[in-house]
Every structure is written in C-alpha cells, then in structure tokens.
Amino acid sequence: MSAIRYELGSDQILTLTIDMPGQSANTMNTAFREALDETVSKVQGDLENIRGIIVTSAKKTFFAGGDLNEIHKVTRDDGQAFEDMVNSMKAHMRALETCGKPVVAAINGTALGGGFEIALACHHRIVLNNNSLQLGLPEVTLGLLPGGGGTQRLPRMIGLEAAFPLLMEGKKLRPSAALKAGIIDEIADSPEDMMAKARAFIDANPKCQQPWDKKGFKLPGGAPHHPAMAQKLVIAPAMLKQKTKGCYPAPERIMAAAVEGAQVDFDNGSLIETRYFAELVIGQVAKNMTGTFWFQLNDINAGGSRPEGVEKETFKKVGVLGAGMMGAGIAYSTANRGIEVVLKDVSLESAEKGKSYSETLLAKKVSRRHMTEEKKAEILSRIKATDSTADLEGCDLVIEAVFEDSELKAKVTAEAEPKLVNNGIFASNTSTIPITQLAEASAKPENFIGLHFFSPVDKMMLVEIIVGEKTSDETLARAFDYVQQIGKIPVVVNDSRGFFTSRVFGTFVNEGITMLGEGVHPSSIENAGLLAGMPVGPLTISDEVSMTLMQHVRSQSKKDVEAAGGTWNPHPAEAIIDQMVIEHGRKGKAAGAGFYEYPTKGKKYLWPELETLFVDNEKARDVKLQELKDRILFIQAIETVRCLEEGVLRTVEDANIGSIFGIGYAPWTGGAIQFVNQYGVRAFTERAQELANIYGERFTPPALLLAHAEQEKPFT
C-alpha cells in the first residue's frame, strides 16, 4: 500500500492523501520518499487531466515532519549521501509546486517541521479551525534547521524579518495566529468546509505559480541588499551570537541559509539550505539535542521510570496544603488540567490569596485571547480555598507545601492523611528534608512520596519524584500518573540529601563562589556560566536563592552527616558565603544586597567591593575562560555520575532530562550525562582528574566513571 493515496475525481481534482501504513503519524522516511517519487511521476503523466491538486492527510495530525530516527543516525561519512537524498526529495516537492496547476494544502491537523514545509510548497494553505492544532518550524529546538525548503519559502512569503522569529525560535502557532502571521491563507470550520474551500481556490485559480516563481518577484520587507535591510543584517549575527553564546550553531545556520538564499533564485537557495542542514545533522549539538529532547523525552513520556504492572490512574481530587508560592502554583497547574483542588492554608484569607494567583495567571491568558472568560471561570471553580482540614475529605492525593519545617510537616501529614480516600497518596514538596524521614509521621509510609516542583510551577515542566525507603512501587506509579496528568515531566529519584536536582545545582553555585575566593573577577565568573550555556551566572543565582538559605541547608546537612557518624568536609565556598553574610550583611536579592547591588531604579550590578575583597589582579588577568567553563560543566556532570553510582538516579534519561529541565544544565550538551558521553568517557575522566589535581577532590572521577572510561563505554 502506497503512503500517498492517489484519487483523481470526475471533477479532475486530484486528492493526495498521505497515510503512511503502520505509522500513527506521517513522517519523511524512505517509504514516504518512494511514494512521493511515484506520485510525482503519476501526476506528470496525468497532468492534462488534472485541474488542481489537494494535499491532505488521513492521520489525526497532518504530517509530523522529518524522520528523526534516520536523521539521528547520519554520520560525517554519509553526509554527502544525506545531502543528495534531501535534494532529491525537495526536487519532487518542487515538481508539484511548479506543475502549473493549483496545489492546495488541506491541513486537517498539526503540521510541524517537514510537515509544515510540505504545506509551504503548496500554493494555498487551508487549516481546520481547531485550537489544539499547531503550525510551525520547530527544528531549531532540536539543533536542526528546516531543511525542506522552510528557510527559503517562509522569507519569500512574509519577509526576512517576520520569518526570523519563526525559524530561529521555532515558535509554534495556533491557526488564528498563523493566519495573522500570513503563513496560512484560510481557516475552515469543518473538514467538508476545508475541502469545499480547496475546490473553490482551484476553480478560481486554474493556473498557479508561487510569487517567487513569477518574473520581477521582490522579497517582502526588502531584499538583503536593500539599504535599510542591509543595515539590520549587519548587526543581526552579532546580536544572535550574544543570544546563543556561540553554543548553538542552528540559529546561525538558519540565518545564513535565509539571507544567502534570498540573494539567489529559489532553486539555488534550496541547495544552500541543504548544505547547512547536512552540516547541522552531522554535528554534535544536533545529536545531543535530538537524542535528549526527542528520544529520551519520548522514553520518559512513554513510561520512563514508572514501575510496570500498575493500572494507570486518573486523579479527580487533589488537596494542596499551604497556599504560598509553591502551593498556589501547584493548585493552578492541577486545576488547569481538569482536577478538583482543595487549597488549604491556616486562614481563609491566605488560602484565597493563593487562589487569586490562579486568577491572575488565567486573566493574563484571557487578555491575550488564549482563553475564554468561560474557561477561566470553569478552571477557577475547581479550586476550593479553605482553612478547614475537613474539606480534604475524599482526596486521591494530598500534596503538602507548608513551610520547610519537619515538625510542621509531620503535623499536617497526621491531620490530612485520615481524610484521603482508601489507598490515597500523601506527597511532600520539600526541597531539602529526606522523604524517608518525613514518612515517619505517616500512618502509611508506603503511600508517602516526594513530589518536588520547581518555581514558578506554572512554567517549570519538571517534577522530581522522590521515592522514600518505604514508598511502594504502586505509589510511585500512581504519582507518575499524576505528574503526567498535569502535563509535566516526571523524573524519578531515590531519597538522598538534596535529591538529585538540588544536589547537582549546589555544585554549580558553590563552584562559582569558589572561583571568587580564588581571586577570579566576578564578571568573568558570571560570563563563564553564561558561555557554558547555563541560564544565569552562579553569583546571580546565589543571590536569588539567598545565601542565608544556603547556610541553613548546609548546617542541616552537616548535622545529618555528623549524626550518621560521618565527618563534614567543608566546601571552599562556605567561607565566602559566611564572609558575605556575617561580615558584610549581604544575604542576597530578597535582602536587597548580595553579590549584586539592587538599586531601586535601574538594573542590578555587581557589588564593587567584591573587587577589593576578593579579586587577585594577577589571577584575574591570567584566568582562562575555557577552564572556568569546564569547571562549571564538569562539576555538575561528575556529581550526576555520583548520583547514578549511588542509585539516587535510576536512568540516564532521568539524569539528562532532570539536569536540563530542573537545573538549566546547558541544553546544547543534551544533559549532564550526554555531556560526558560526547566528550568521550575516557577524555572526560582524564580532564576530571586534571581538574581534581588543581582544584581539589570534588573533581575526582567516581568509580563508576573510571569503570566506563576503562572500557570506553558511554553511559546508556
């Protein structure tokens, strides 16, 4: 059975329905390419009898895009063959585009990446009115570029300036936004209406050519050599570099393909695009990003570390204790996904204040026309703000997000548990206290688990699920279901001080502070963090977290280690933190003074006294940026390996996804463990040992790393 159904009607309209056998979605794989080849030959043979062509899909989505399984495997050696294959497929699409007859895309479902590029190659795009349908070219988010003509057709359609954000940020648009952006032509109310509109277009345009194939075509918004555009394009690469920090080749190649392609005819532009596409495909960053953001994320979404054999649960009523910053966010994210929420605080006033957080977020959506007033009211009606424990009656799950205080957490656990349905789950959102310890207050420790959300909850996609010593597999599986039900990504970790994310994140912050103590200039430290690909520098984040909180966490950890008979090994950063807080009263951002000054007007700036207190001019002059970047990436990767070694982490997928979505570990690396793999386990180990010799044993390669290095075996 061909992947493209060929139906020539008595009205001489040819409908090409893409329906790849044995696949839930259409992708650009060998079967598709063969079918396209066959279809184009047939069209050429039948051309005299064809008035127009409608391209549509039999799947729920229109077309899912390139086949990442194929793309991921392409090596440097088969780069040329890949380029030839892409050019041949593009030539087929081009043959339809230039056949002289009108070609209409009837987009019945989401069309992203290669799928949307098929639509762009048509003369007219009609989309079904469905607000869950998405359109766009998100290849950049996987380190790739739209290699099916997207970087050439989109600028020719809407101009370079308008095309850049869609191409370089990979924005996905709903039908109404896509219409406004000029990348589709019509919205249809029903599938029948869509086909009727397609026929009407064909009737009205018996001969069709793309604007760029017509004589005298001018690029909308101005060609690259137009003085106004040329001026913008001169500074654009520098601005882009500032954004990508030189870590992400894809946006740079996209810009190059679009600008260079716009200066030649379409067909030569298309060849330029393919060359850049192949360069990215064989490059390491695209391998890292597709490996993690596609394959590993899909593995997690398909069940990841969820124990097998437990029936999937749908949660109906969730209690949230504490309507502060985290509780309010958890309530919002839960109610937003159709679950009833009981939001409890010590007073009704505090609970209502927590609920008003949802109201603010939803009102913003309404004002941006992303939501109707009715939908907003419906979501809000699901949140019951209360000060009464009795209202928790019948909850399937209760999540506590009260102050970080073991005694208080024990008290609320004992109060809330009896209200849960039989076999209900009690979860703690603690950021530091071991789950096994908190579970001591529970009558059913097998039903007790950690659900560690990140702030701001509505934006942060990750939830770290922490399994205590007594937590049952069934509870873990059901907690996993809840996290997926609210649309977040679950990574599973075993109980440990700081769990996974906080523990690794701490090494990043401490390393930056340690550099300051060594005499490195603070702006070099911040810069190194950003250039390594972290979202913010380590000194900025120390101020955000607050140095007093860091002191508190440390003293708690020290107590635990000593209580267990161990010896506390002080980190070199501790003395700097104490000096900042105790000697200089600089606790962080909330206190208005930390490593930065926070003027009431204007931007924050580094506290000038840091230079006098810490900077060693000789050291500051000699410091190598690459060494600082290495330290930042290595220390976190080494700690992540330790987490795997100690069984805190169960899988490499959880490690990579958790490090990027929870800590902001540089996405270009594909995650902390992928960084080790791509560096080469042996080379990484040698470099770690070198860093240990200079900076101390925190860099010493753990045994698991040594074992992998010895066998030159990447982590899988």
Instruction: List the catalytic residues.
Output: 117, 139
> What string marks each residue from 55 to 84 as x (binds ligand NAI by CB under 6 A) or -?
------------------------------
Q: Which is nearer to ligand NAI, 86 or 320 (CB)?
A: 320
CA atoms within 13 A on the CB side of 472: 13
Closest CB 435 distance from ligand NAI, rounded Å: 12
Closer CB to ligand NAI, 351 or 573, in the complex: 351
Site string for ligand NAI, 340-359 (x = CB under 6 A): ----xxx---x---------
Instruction: Show the tokens assigned to 532.
Output: 């390594």
How many amino acids of this chain bind ligand NAI (CB under 6 A)?
Answer: 23
Applying CB under 6 A, which of residues 237, 303, 307, 324 lies at the interface with ligand NAI? Answer: 324
Site for ligand NAI in 403-462 (CB under 6 A): 403-404, 408, 412, 429-431, 452-453, 455
Closest CB to ligand NAI among 98 and 437?
A: 437
Beta strands in 429-575 (DSSP E): 448-452, 462-467, 489-494
Segment interacting with ligand NAI, rule: CB under 6 A, options 9-17, 230-238, 321-329, 334-342: 321-329
CB of 552 to ligand NAI, least distance (A): 11
Select 202 or 398, whichever has its Cβ closest to ligand NAI. 398
Cβ distance to ligand NAI smaller for residue 264 or 414: 414
All residues at 6 or more sequence positions from 506 whose CB lies less than 8 Å from its CB, including other chains = 498, 553
Q: Kindly state the smallest distance separating residue 453's Cβ from ligand NAI, in Å.
A: 6
**Scanning residues 4 to 43, which ones bind ligand NAI (CB under 6 A)?**
none
Stretch that binds ligand NAI, among 16-24, 89-97, 399-407, 418-426 (CB under 6 A): 399-407
Alpha-carbon torsion, ordered 309, 494, 331, 415, to 10 deg: 90
End-to-end CA separation in angstroms for the chain: 37
Task: Supply the minimum distance, in Å, between the C-beta of residue 455 and ligand NAI.
Answer: 3
Length of the chain: 716
Tokens 């030959």 belong to 41
Contact 293, 141 (CB under 8 A): yes
Sort residue 372 into left (φ over 0), alpha (ψ -120 to 50) or beta.
Answer: beta
**Site for ligand NAI (CB under 6 A): which residue of 402, 492, 513, 530?**
402
How far does Cα 689 stand from its chain's mean position?
32
Maximum CA extent, the chain: 88
In the complex, minimum distance from the CB of residue 346 to ligand NAI, in angstroms, rounded to a whole number:
5
Of 46 and 349, CB closest to ligand NAI: 349
Report, in Å, the least distance between residue 578 CB and ligand NAI: 22
**Residue from 152, 156, 117 nearest 254 by CA:** 152
Whichever of 393 and 404 has its CB closer to ligand NAI, that residue is 404
Q: Whole-angstrom Cα distance, residue 664 to residue 17?
A: 42
Quickly count helices (H) and strands (E) in the chain.
31, 21
Q: Give residue for tokens 């009115």.
A: 129
Contact pick of 326, 492, 516, 705 for ligand NAI (by CB under 6 A): 326
Which contiguous run of DSSP H or E holds residue 512? helix 501-518
Shortest Cβ 268–ligand NAI spacing (Å): 52
Identify which range of 16-24, 319-327, 598-606, 666-674 contacts ligand NAI by CB under 6 A. Answer: 319-327
SS3 of 468-496: the string is: CCCCCHHHHHHHHHHHHHCCCEEEEEECC
Residues 514/515/519/522 CA torsion (nearest 10 deg): -110
462-467: strand order across its sheet? 383-386, 340-344, 317-321, 395-400, 420-428, 448-452, 462-467, 489-494
CB 637 within 8 A of CB 681: no
The CA distance from 510 to 183, in Å, is: 47
Choose, by CB under 6 A, the member of 146, 155, 327, 701 that binds ligand NAI: 327
658 binds ligand NAI (CB under 6 A): no
With respect to ligand NAI, which residue has the nearer C-beta, 225 or 459? 459
- Cβ distance to ligand NAI smaller for residue 105 or 401: 401
Q: How is residue 398 written in tokens?
A: 């209760």
Give the x/- contact pattern for ligand NAI in 268-307, rule: CB under 6 A. Answer: ----------------------------------------
Indicate the residue among 480 and 499 with the shorter CB distance to ligand NAI: 499
Amino acid at 510: N
Q: Which stretch binds ligand NAI (CB under 6 A): 3-11, 114-122, 400-408, 578-586?
A: 400-408
Given 325, 380, 549, 704, the residue binding ligand NAI (CB under 6 A):
325
The residue among 75, 89, 72, 79 whose CA lies nearest residue 3 is: 89
**What one-character-per-residue DSSP string does 242-258 give?**
HHHTTT-HHHHHHHHHH
Please state, in angstroms and rounded to a whole number, the distance separating the CA atoms of residues 690 and 562. Answer: 31
Site for ligand NAI in 144-173 (CB under 6 A): none
Least distance (Å) between residue 411 CB and ligand NAI: 7
Enumerate residues 164-223 that contact ligand NAI by CB under 6 A.
none
Strand duo 124-128 + 186-188: pairing: parallel
Nearest residue to ligand NAI, scored by beta-carbon proximity = 324
Q: Which of 46, 42, 48, 18 is nearest to 32 (CA)?
A: 18
User: Exactly one of 256, 383, 399, 401 binds ligand NAI (CB under 6 A); which one?
Assistant: 401
- In the complex, the residues that contact ligand NAI under the rule CB under 6 A are 321-327, 344-346, 350, 401-404, 408, 412, 429-431, 452-453, 455
